[in-house]
Amino acid sequence: MAETQYFMLPGPTQVPPRVLRAASMPMINHRGPEFKAVFTEVTALLKKVFNTENDLFIFTASGSGGMEASVSNFINPGERVLVASMGNFGSRYRDVCRKMGAEVDFVEFPWGTPVDARVIAQKLAEDKNREIKAVFCQHNETSTGVYNDLQAISLARGDHPALLIVDAVSSVGALPIKTDEWGLDVVVSASQKGLMCPPGLAYMTVNERAWQAAEKCVNACYYFSIKLAKEFLANSQTPFTPGVSTLFAQREALRMIFEQGLDEYIADHFFRRRLVRAGIEAMGLTYLAGEEWASPAVTAVHVPQGFKPSDIVAPLREKFNIVLAGGMGKLKESTFRIGHVGYMNVMDIVVALAGVELALRRLGHPVVLGSGVAAAQELLAQGF
Ligand SMILES: *Cc1c(COP(=O)(O)O)cnc(C)c1O
């Protein structure tokens, strides 16, 4: 296998060599003084990314571990929750909530559109007895390439006491997130998407309101217990052996993000979104997401009629080491996805567009070679 790939998944994502070198540092004692310095710095920088002063927990887990923690710590068996979904990860929240014994009200919006906050407002207004304990949603739905207006969803609660619990796994770093300002009670993310780091760590912020729910929660929760984690947090430690090497990596990646500037780093993602969409459009393909809520992290593209995602993804991987993602859930057979989240050179996008054109040509689908590439180049020329 070639060591160099054009690696364009919506997670895991490319890891800068500087971050990989940091991950290769010798092991340290996770109960010793050197660990405290790493843990404290990572926590402080993550809080700046999340725009929060809430508690922030670091779990050694993938993002789904964080999702589980965001249910099991706050929701008791038998309690009602509202899961607002617009794609495959919304279904995952539904499944996790059900496994944890919650009574799930599943509200699904058409895949390719965001959550309509008015529907959430209506659902909560109908809940006269205030039985709904939490609203769950994604910040960015990775299966469709659509993001949500979290502030609108938060405000839609009005004076209903339901917590707002957000899966921001694929958005943190790619989209601004104002955890405290928007009143997001719990936010979950992970190391391997917009945070330029290998997989292995999940992050979760918890505010005062969420803590009140946690105090009353008796759900089965051991590894992911925030009550236990809070005791260790006082000493800048975790209850169990953390992914030390990934923490080294995450510290380096966060330093890089702040050297560039968080706003600039996020803005890069919005520019990549423009490049991808211009290119896809110019070659005559269509994407799922409308302009307004199109994700800066990932673009889901419809496969032309008569073909499967693997007709495009597989030959690009085999022939050119271009790694794109297939579809997910009910889009599995009809879309492929170009990830543009995290660490990336914009030229990777030009290469991916060139690759997609070649794959279409190979399939006999009408395409003007260079059309997508040229559209992206026009945008690049403006700033060059
Ligand atoms: C990637 C992702 C997750 C977590 O996936 P893991 O494979 O468990 O890390 C959760 N939610 C969203 C929206 C994601 O994109």
- Asked whether residue 2 carries a pLDDT value surpassing 80, the answer given is no
Which pLDDT value is given to residue 4? 87
Which atom of ligand 1 approaches the CA of 170 most closely? 15
Q: Is the CB of 138 under 6 A from ligand 1?
A: yes
Tell me if 167 CB under 6 Å of ligand 1: yes
Supply the DSSP string of 287-352, one letter for each residue. Answer: BSS-STTB-SSEEEEEPPTT--HHHHHHHHHHHH-EE-B---GGGTTTEEEEE--SS--HHHHHHH
Domains and CATH numbers, the chain: 6-12+261-382 (3.90.1150.10), 17-258 (3.40.640.10)
Neighbouring CB atoms inside 10 A of 127's CB total: 15
Cβ partners under 8 Å of residue 232, min gap 6: 238, 239
- Residue 136 pLDDT > 80: yes
Share of the chain above pLDDT 70, in %: 100
Q: For residue 57, what pLDDT is reported?
A: 98
Is 0.85 topped by the overall pTM? yes
87 lines ligand 1 (CB under 6 A): no
Mean pLDDT of 364-379: 98
- How large a percentage of the chain has pLDDT more than 90? 98
Q: Is the CB of 169 under 6 A from ligand 1?
A: yes
Q: Is the CB of 242 under 6 A from ligand 1?
A: no
62 CA: nearest ligand 1 atom:
9
Q: What is the pLDDT of residues 224-240, one digit of tens each?
A: 999 999 999 999 999 99
Q: What average pLDDT score do residues 280-299 get? A: 97
pLDDT tens, position by position, 110-123: 999 999 999 999 99
Rounded to the nearest angstrom, the distance between the alpha carbon of 332 and the centre of ligand 1 is 16
Averaged confidence pLDDT in the chain: 97
- Determine the atom of ligand 1 nearest the C-alpha atom of 142: 15
Whole-number Å distance, alpha carbon 365 to ligand 1 midpoint, is 33
CA angle 248, 2, 321 (to 5 degrees): 100
Least confident interval from 184-188, 218-222, 224-228, 280-284: 218-222
Cis peptide before 12 (omega within 30 of 0): yes
Q: What is the pLDDT of residue 175?
A: 98
Q: What is the mean pLDDT of residues 160-164?
A: 98
| CA separation for the pair 39, 196 (Å, rounded) | 17
Q: Indicate whether residue 112 lines ligand 1 (CB < 6 A).
A: no
pLDDT, tens digit (0-9, with 9 covering 90-100), for 300-340: 999 999 999 999 999 999 999 999 999 999 999 999 999 99
Q: By alpha-carbon position, which residue is closest to atom 12 of ligand 1?
A: 169
The residue contributing the CA closest to ligand 1 atom 4 is 63
Banded pLDDT at 1 (limits 50, 70, 90):
low
Work out which ligand 1 atom sits closest to the CA atom of 141.
13
How many CB atoms are closer than 10 A to CB 370? 14
**Pocket of ligand 1 contains residue 66 by CB under 6 Å:** no
Q: How far is the CA of 372 from the centre of ligand 1 (A)?
A: 29
Average pLDDT of span 359-380? 98
